[in-house]
Amino acid sequence: MMALSKALLRVAAVTCLASPSLGADTYTLPPYSPAYEPRTLDERGLWMEADVHEKRLAGSPMRIRDDHLSQYVRDVLCRTVGSDRCGGVRVYIVDIPAFNATMMPNGAMSVWSGLLLRVRSEAELGAVLGHEFAHFELRHSLLGFQNRRSNSDLAAWIQVLGAIAQRDVSDTQLSIVGSVYRFNREQEKQADLLGLKYLKSSPYPSRSASEVWQHLMEEADATAAGRMIRKKHQYSAGFFDTHPTELNRADYLLEEALKFNDPGEAGAKEHYKAVEKYLPRFLSSQIRLNDFGGTEYIVSGIAGHTGWTGALLQARADMYVSRGNVRDLITATTLYLNAIDSGYQRPEIYRGLGLGLIKLGRNDDGRKYLKLYLENVPDAQDKKMIQLYIDDAGGE
Amino acid sequence: MPKLGRLFVAFCFAIAATMVSAQEKTGIKQGFQLQPGTARILLLEPSVRVGSQSTGGLFEPNADWTEQAKNNLERELSEVQGRLGNRVDRHELDGSSASAKLHDYNALFGAVASSVIEYQFFLGNRLPSKKKDKNEFSWSVGPGLKDVPALKGYDYILMIRTKDAFGSAGRKLLQIAAAFGGVGVTAGEHIGMAGLIDIRTGELVWLNADLQMGGDVRTTEGAVKRVSQLLEGFPGRGVQ
Amino acid sequence: MKLLTLLTGLTLVVSTSANAHKLIEPGLREGVAGGVFSVSVPTTMNRLQQKEGKFQEIWTVDGDGLNKIIFFGGVPDGEALLRQRDKKNNPLPRFNSKMLLAEIPAYLETSYRSYYGSPKVNIGEMSPVQFLNQKGIRFDYKYMSVEDEVVRSGMGYATVKEQKLYMIIFEAPEIFFYGRDIGVFEKIASSLRLL
């Protein structure tokens, strides 16, 4: 089998200096030439690590091995950056409920399920993938790495003076697929601008890039509201940790996009069709994150495009059950019933509804639904537990 | 990734700095003997990482060093493996689903070795139940190992892991500063371990581990020294 | 290389005092988990010095990476299962005494996701059982640790009494260790009493 590092011969990159200029004309894409070899010491070190990481990523149990889904993501990438560029890229989808996509210096790209849940169209997905590809094309990972080093040097001196030591020992798959490379604001801007150029040449509207950030910030606000924390409008956690963002990032992206004046088909319908099969699973993982506000925002955002489908109603109900305040049970009950009425009659709904009704003291109604649940899933893992409630509701 | 309390971590380092000296290095299953010429050993692709440690403690991989070290260690291993008394073949770990089981076991080897080091080798942290019998060394990954297809025809697995992070100049200065302040900051790590696992029973019959190994693995002599340390006391070796 | 994670392990706090961890001899033992439980110990074990939360006690035979039993001695209404590491950005869900027993496993899962950053916890079977002399739940689960990439299986017994959560769980690598030590855990769980 060909060594992964040889794949770099198939992966094209701009063969220019470490800080490439983007060309005088802000609208056209720079030319792209194949054949790229990592040159400096640090660079080769990163490629070598990347090859090792990619091997492990390929064999990881966290990987979603679905050819259709992977093909969908690849197609969006290729439509965004063009077939010249997307040729040698390997796409890996990872089941992690957070918004992220990464690209390693050797051309391996990871896309997290939390990202697929949050983007609302092919264009938005393309905007994120294009942005990551831009970091790769601009060889930012090398520079980002160096920047990260100097940041931590400074931090270390401060910490010693404060008598505290710190070390990053992360060596797990999560760190591999996760944000290994941090970029500074300047690099983020460069990647944004190159990303916009890809979008301009693509069938997608370039203002989708701005929309991605708007949604992320709104979600962060919703999370904070849900936790009764004051909105800071200073986004630093999670994805923002490695993608420093100011309030105006969405603004300048929109401004640039308006200059391009390129309407296009965003492909919202197509996106939700492609991820439809996985939506309940992604939503269920999201709900487990204990982020009521953020989850509500996401679910409502999807509903804006697809309408309140049974899957979304169920997810919303599950959310309320998870928060578990007194009134939440009543809300959840209503939502479950709405889902059933809409024709979406999943066993989990019967279970959730049944248990909720029992908690509300409506034992007969609760038992009815729990019976339906077991009828639909006769070999349920919690069969014995649920049967107890059917036999003995109110005895808890 | 969950955040660690900094005091927490600092405490660990302070202790680690003092504990490195109070550490055993080898464990061997009671009564275990390996007769030369009797076994086939599978050497799992060694994990070799070399880089530098910045002032901030960040591990920075260094391609040239890693490549040198990997070549040196592999060369030395292939030299030495003929002198281990038994035949040693090397196995590459790829990402295919066929080797998933071997991957799982490889991860488990790491967990077992970590437990040995953390709860047996470190004297101050030894589990009380393991203090009673000084010679006891019973660690295993169980009888399922022999069913892994890739291991067919082999009797033992040899697992080798090294990680070398050379302290940068900044880090060395930091260490001096910290020493005055009584805070433990390790400068450079040279971690290595070699373990022998009996495929038939899953038992870890032998483990060598050290958090401060010798030999600069970037050089041929260093690799020779390192491999010699790693395989020191390798069962069934006969005359060293 | 997981050796480094030893020193910065989630639960490792090491003391240089002579007996950091305590020996647990077979026999009746009282006052477990803050004076809450009594238990009949079938085999020699160790009580770890470290814990991950206020109401906990952790026992092990070979080290918490290979087998561990965690006792939760009465988590009150409104408290989290484990230590709140980052209340603002990553709050752990709080126990709600109105939870049905059937909801306890999901509560554990959400706590783990938050505490360990574990992307996925798979809950398996759930059954009603007698635990601490009243109605309880037994459940099993599986998850992959992000630290060492080992898949671990777990089993738990739980019940709610006077608005507090009493629980005992056992976790060990799915390969070999879980099957080997589950019997000891079952004995311990069945002997558990409230003082």
Give pLDDT tens digits for B215-231: 889 999 999 999 999 99
**Structure confidence at residue B190 (pLDDT):** 85
* C-alpha distances in Å from residue A231, one per residue of A60, A224, A228: 37, 6, 9
3-state DSSP assignment of residue A280: helix
Tokens linked to B209: 């581990």
CA dihedral A350, A352, A355, A358 (to 10 degrees): -80
Give B-chain residues touching C116 at CB under 8 angstroms. 2
* C-alpha distances in Å from residue B239, one per residue of A230, A384, B196, C184: 71, 63, 19, 44
**Structure confidence at residue C188 (pLDDT):** 97
* C-alpha distances in Å from residue A296, one per residue of A104, C8, C95: 32, 36, 21
User: Is residue C164 over pLDDT 80?
Assistant: yes
CB contact under 8 A, B63 and A44: yes
Tokens linked to C13: 């706090």
Smallest Cβ–Cβ distance between B16 and the set C5, C7, C117 belongs to C7
Give C-chain residues touching B129 at CB under 8 angstroms. 23, 44-46, 61
Q: Looking at the complex, does the CB of residue C10 fall below 8 Å from at least one CB of chain A?
A: no
- Phi and psi torsions of C130, nearest 5°: -85, 130
CB contact under 8 A, B94 and A55: yes
CA nearest B141: which of C9, C7, C62? Answer: C62
**Structure confidence at residue A19 (pLDDT):** 33
The band of B183, judged by pLDDT with boundaries at 50, 70 and 90, is low
Interval B88-124: pLDDT, tens? 888 887 666 667 788 889 889 989 998 998 888 887 8
Cα(A36)–Cα(A139) distance, integer angstroms: 11
For residue C133, give how far its alpha carbon lies from the nearest alpha carbon of chain B (Å): 31
List, as own/partner pairs, every contact residues A295-304 make where C-beta atoms lie below 8 angstroms and the sequence separation is at least 24, other chains included.
Answer: A295/A319, A296/A222, A296/A226, A297/A218, A297/A219, A297/A222, A297/A223, A298/A117, A298/A118, A298/A219, A301/A118, A301/A120, A301/A215, A302/A120, A302/A272, A304/A120
CA nearest C157: which of C194, C115, C121? Answer: C194
CB atoms within 10 A of CB A30: 16
- Do the beta carbons of residue B136 and residue B129 sit within 8 Å? no
What letters, b where the CB count within 10 A reaches 16 and e where it falls short, cover B80-112? bbeebbbebeebebebeeebebbbbbbbbbbbb
* Non-local CB neighbours of B26 within 8 Å, separated by 6+ positions: B206, B207, B208, B209, B232, B233
**Structure confidence at residue A190 (pLDDT):** 87
* Non-local CB neighbours of C164 within 8 Å, separated by 6+ positions: C74, C75, C76, C77, C97
Give A-chain residues touching B183 at CB under 8 angstroms. 160, 163-165
CB contact under 8 A, B125 and C149: no
Task: For residue B4, give the DSSP letter.
Answer: P
Partner residues linked to C80 by β-bridges: C94
Three-state SS sequence of B88-129: EEEECCCCCHHHHHHHHHHHHHHHHHHHHHHHHHEHHHCCHH
The DSSP bridge pattern shows strands C151-161 and C164-173 to be antiparallel
Give B-chain residues touching C118 at CB under 8 angstroms. none
**Structure confidence at residue A320 (pLDDT):** 94
Of A22-26, A352-356, C44-48, C161-165, the least confident = A22-26
**Structure confidence at residue C14 (pLDDT):** 40
* Non-local CB neighbours of A233 within 8 Å, separated by 6+ positions: A217, A247
- Do the beta carbons of residue B55 and residue B170 sit within 8 Å? yes
CA nearest B18: which of C60, C17, A291, C116? Answer: C17
Interval B155-167: pLDDT, tens? 999 999 888 888 7
Question: What are the start-end ranges of the H helices in chain C?
Answer: 3-7, 32-35, 104-116, 177-191
Cα(B24)–Cα(B210) distance, integer angstroms: 8
**Structure confidence at residue B45 (pLDDT):** 83
CB atoms within 10 A of CB B143: 13
Give A-chain residues touching C135 at CB under 8 angstroms. 388, 395-396
CA dihedral A6, A11, A16, A18 (to 10 degrees): -80
Q: Is residue C47 within a helix (H) or strand (E), and if so which, with residue range?
A: strand C45-47
CB contact under 8 A, A227 and C146: no
Q: Looking at the complex, does the CB of residue C60 fall below 8 Å from at least one CB of chain B?
A: yes
Percent of chain B's residues with pLDDT above 90: 27
**Structure confidence at residue B56 (pLDDT):** 63
CA nearest A89: which of A36, A21, A157, A143? Answer: A36
Q: Looking at residues C112-140, what average pLDDT do you find?
A: 88
Higher pLDDT, C33 or B169: C33
**Structure confidence at residue A169 (pLDDT):** 27
Give C-chain residues touching A386 at CB under 8 angstroms. 102
Interval B54-64: pLDDT, tens? 666 666 667 67
CA nearest B1: which of C140, C4, C146? Answer: C146
Smallest Cβ–Cβ distance between B181 and the set A47, A163, A168 belongs to A163
Best C175, C180, C181, C182 member to test B by mutation, with max B CBs in 10 Å, is C175
State the chains in contact with B (3 or more Cβ–Cβ pairs under 8 Å): A, C
What letters, b where the CB count within 10 A reaches 16 and e where it falls short, cover A6-28? ebbeebbbbeeeeeeeeeeeeee
What is the mean pLDDT, run by run of 10 residues, along chain A of 396 residues? 33 30 50 60 69 74 88 96 89 86 82 94 96 85 48 37 25 34 72 91 92 89 86 60 63 86 90 96 90 95 96 96 89 96 93 94 94 95 94 62
**Structure confidence at residue A173 (pLDDT):** 32
- Do the beta carbons of residue B223 and residue B74 sit within 8 Å? no
CB contact under 8 A, B56 and A58: no
Largest separation between any pair of C-alpha atoms in chain B: 56
**Structure confidence at residue A176 (pLDDT):** 35
Q: Looking at residues C28-46, what average pLDDT do you find?
A: 94
The crossing angle, in degrees rounded to 10, of helices A185-201 and A249-260 is 30
- Do the beta carbons of residue C94 and residue C84 sit within 8 Å? no
Give A-chain residues touching C85 at CB under 8 angstroms. none
| Percentages of chain C per state (helix, strand, coil), in multiples of 5 | 20, 40, 40
Tokens linked to C123: 């809950």
List, as own/partner pairs, every contact residues A246-249 make where C-beta atoms lie below 8 angstroms and the sequence separation is at least 24, other chains included.
Answer: A246/A185, A247/A217, A249/A188, A249/A192, A249/A213
* C-alpha distances in Å from residue A30, one per residue of A23, A87, A132: 7, 17, 17
The band of C177, judged by pLDDT with boundaries at 50, 70 and 90, is very high
Give A-chain residues touching B56 at CB under 8 angstroms. 149, 151-156, 166-168
Closest Cα in chain B to A61: B100
CA atoms within 13 A on the CB side of A214: 13
Tokens linked to A77: 């990438």
CB contact under 8 A, B95 and A41: no
User: Is residue B16 over pLDDT 90?
Assistant: no
Closest Cα in chain B to C23: B128
Residue type, C105: P
CB contact under 8 A, A58 and B63: no
Cα(B189)–Cα(B60) distance, integer angstroms: 12
Q: Looking at the complex, does the CB of residue C173 fall below 8 Å from at least one CB of chain B?
A: yes
For residue A324, is it left (φ>0), alpha (ψ between -120 and 50) or beta?
left
**Structure confidence at residue A50 (pLDDT):** 72
Q: What angle do CA C59, C63, C68 make, to 5 degrees?
A: 40
- Do the beta carbons of residue A381 and residue C125 sit within 8 Å? yes
Cα(C121)–Cα(B104) distance, integer angstroms: 17
**Structure confidence at residue A338 (pLDDT):** 96
Task: For residue C39, give the DSSP letter.
Answer: E
User: Is residue B145 over pLDDT 60?
Assistant: yes
State the chains in contact with A (3 or more Cβ–Cβ pairs under 8 Å): B, C
Cα(B215)–Cα(A292) distance, integer angstroms: 54
* C-alpha distances in Å from residue C128, one per residue of A364, A387, C192: 20, 9, 17
Q: What angle do CA A66, A72, A77 make, to 5 degrees?
A: 125
Q: Is residue A294 within a helix (H) or strand (E), and if so which, with residue range?
A: helix A292-306
Q: What angle do CA B225, B226, B230 make, to 5 degrees?
A: 120
ipTM over 0.90: no
Give C-chain residues touching B140 at CB under 8 angstroms. 176
**Structure confidence at residue A73 (pLDDT):** 97
Question: What are the start-end ranges of the H helices in chain B?
Answer: 6-19, 63-81, 100-116, 169-181, 220-230
Place of tokens 């855990």: C185
User: Is residue C76 over pLDDT 90?
Assistant: yes
**Structure confidence at residue A357 (pLDDT):** 93
Instruction: Compute the mean pLDDT over every residue in chain C, rounded to the nearest whole number.
Output: 87
For residue C161, give how far its alpha carbon lies from the nearest alpha carbon of chain A (Å): 10
Higher pLDDT, C108 or A261: C108
Q: Looking at the complex, does the CB of residue B193 fall below 8 Å from at least one CB of chain C?
A: yes
Q: Looking at the complex, does the CB of residue C45 fall below 8 Å from at least one CB of chain B?
A: yes
Place of tokens 């908690």: A359
**Structure confidence at residue A343 (pLDDT):** 93
* Non-local CB neighbours of A67 within 8 Å, separated by 6+ positions: none
